[in-house]
Structure 1
Amino acid sequence: MSSNTNSEKTYNYLFIGQVLPNTTQITLKDHDYVFEDDKLGIKGRILVTIKSSHVIIQFVGDVPLEDIGTLRNIVYDNARILIEATGFYIGSILSLNITHAIWENGSHLALFTSDAPAVKGFPESQGITIDDLFAVTYDLSDTYLQQSLSDMTRAMQSAIDTGFYCYRALEALRHYFKSAYNLQKDGVSWEKLRAELNFSREAIDYIKQFADAVRHGDARSVPSVTSQERTKILQTTASVICRYVLYAKNGYKQPID
């Protein structure tokens, strides 16, 4: 939807959601932010309203935005900060679920689900069955994949933390090679992972650039991520995980194709 204020046209986007779990009724005062990101080319104001755990996030900008996925990630992270701070204060595990967005006077609607389109169906496309995945996951000697999948789940949940958790998911798999081949240096174990699973250093470094600032606690230096970049990060990580599953299925050795 758009409006005219002082003859200047503005573009309004409403994101609707809720605080989970539903049994916790959270009401907060409204919070208003100014957001600007030169890399993304997005500038505007974000107003977060939370009443009885119902969440409405309004983004008001000067220009129309086509990448609703990236905008969704931006407003999600701004509202998530409030919810996580509240959860810490009251000693409760709270999370944010954005269900849909409305803009252009209600003529446009986007629905958001728990699906991660970048990953959905990917293991199957690589010839991996759910039983293959279970067989490796439930191998008590292979805690590396268990940790990797746990981090991958978190990567799919949080846009701004995608790079951090995806890189940590790869680090978990690296530790298999470090242990199995008694490698003392981290760099050597990374080389072994790339060689055994047939991945380039460039592919891993692409993810690392979105992870380093978070890994070192430097929140101010965390690079913004577009929906396209996030898709690439998730798909690259999913590909490495799938290669590892096939590698394990083959007795932890090549060939895996």
Structure 2
Amino acid sequence: MEPYFFSGVVVPERAQLSLQITLGFSHVASGVNGTARISIVLNQIAVWIESEHDWDIFDLRNVVKNIIQNHLAMVGYLKGYAYDFEITRVLNQSREIDYVFGIDIPCLADRDNTVDLQDALFKLREKTIGPNGMLLNRCFSDLVSAMKHADDTGFYCYRAIESLRHHCAAVHGLSADNKSTQWAKLREVSGSDEQTIRAIKAAADPLRHGEAHAADSEDRAKLLTSTWNVVDEYLNNA
């Protein structure tokens, strides 16, 4: 069977990197096995995936990203370099696949594509002014990390919600109260039920304790959507 071919780039390109990696892998969520051959030449990424499985290309893209991210993290540890990267395209002619990846997460990008970005950004910026604004900025940063790091989506989603809890407690004078009171107030302001928050926490708990955990694209979309719903309603009412 023809391998899946992925291409991309390591950035910044001015810090040149070349690596050759071949390894076997097992997808945690599905248990499907495969072999990855990765060639990075002057920061240009080429990846061949050998697998008999008929992959969802987003799940396989996340596998490829995870493998490369892990190796770049090791390079970072060894050299003190903070590389980033992106995977831009996947090809497999026998499966009639030729797809250029965007930067969007479809389940989120499709929520409201009529938003006036300038107006919405101004309103958000107003909410981040003052000493409590740092908590909202941390929430937004974690939401972006949840989109970027598929295997750690639950961790970042829940930490974003925890930042909202701290923000909610601060603006309502509950910072000295116990967590149960703070969570109850967050649920009240955001119109969220306890089950929704607990489901996000359940996705985060293994990751918060250093355990391996992964979700497929469908489960990840549900988690992201639930998290964004909580954040949206909180910001609308805060």
TM-score by length of 1: 0.82
Q: 1:244 to 1:139 in 2, by over 3 A?
A: farther
2:9 is aligned with 1:56: no
SS at match of 2:38: strand
How many residue pairs match? The answer is 234
**2:17 pairs with one of 11, 26, 50:** 26
2:156 is aligned with 1:165: yes
**2:57 pairs with one of 55, 68, 76:** 68
SS at match of 1:119: helix
* 1:255 aligned partner: none
AA at the equivalent of 1:188: T
Aligned equivalents of 2:167 and 2:198: distance in 1?
Answer: 19
Q: 1:157 to 1:51 in 2, by over 3 A?
A: same
Aligned equivalents of 1:68 and 1:31: distance in 2?
Answer: 20
* Percent identity over paired residues: 27
Q: Deviations over 1:188-237 (max 9, x none)?
A: 21122112211112212222222112212x2xx33211111111121211
**1:138 pairs with one of 120, 129, 145:** 129
Whether the aligned pair in 1 keeps the contact of 2:24 and 2:33 (CA below 8 Å) is no
Aligned equivalents of 2:188 and 2:23: distance in 1?
Answer: 49
Whether the aligned pair in 1 keeps the contact of 2:23 and 2:37 (CA below 8 Å) is yes
1:106 is displaced (CA, Å) by 7.6
Q: 1:90 to 1:145 in 2, by over 3 A?
A: same
Whether the aligned pair in 1 keeps the contact of 2:17 and 2:42 (CA below 8 Å) is yes
1:88 is displaced (CA, Å) by 2.6
1:100 is displaced (CA, Å) by 0.6
AA at the equivalent of 1:62: E
* 2:203 aligned partner: 210
**1:228 pairs with one of 201, 218, 233:** 218
Alignment of 1:181-220 (within 5 A): 181-182=173-174, 183-216=176-209, 218=210
Q: CA RMSD in A?
A: 2.3
Whether the aligned pair in 1 keeps the contact of 2:147 and 2:153 (CA below 8 Å) is yes
Q: 1:143 to 1:137 in 2, by over 3 A?
A: same
SS at match of 2:203: coil
Whether the aligned pair in 2 keeps the contact of 1:122 and 1:238 (CA below 8 Å) is no
AA at the equivalent of 1:110: Y
SS at match of 2:39: strand
Q: Deviations over 1:40-93 (max 9, x none)?
A: 25221122221211112222112322x111111111101110112112322221
* 1:115 aligned partner: 104
1:142 is displaced (CA, Å) by 2.9
AA at the equivalent of 2:72: I
Aligned equivalents of 2:115 and 2:181: distance in 1?
Answer: 27
Aligned equivalents of 2:200 and 2:236: distance in 1?
Answer: 22
1:35 is displaced (CA, Å) by 1.9
Question: 1 or 2, which has the higher helix percentage?
Answer: 2
Structure 1: where are the runs of 5+ without partners?
4-11, 249-257
1:184 is displaced (CA, Å) by 2.6
Aligned equivalents of 1:121 and 1:235: distance in 2?
Answer: 11
SS at match of 1:160: helix
Q: 1:48 to 1:88 in 2, by over 3 A?
A: same
Aligned equivalents of 2:113 and 2:57: distance in 1?
Answer: 28
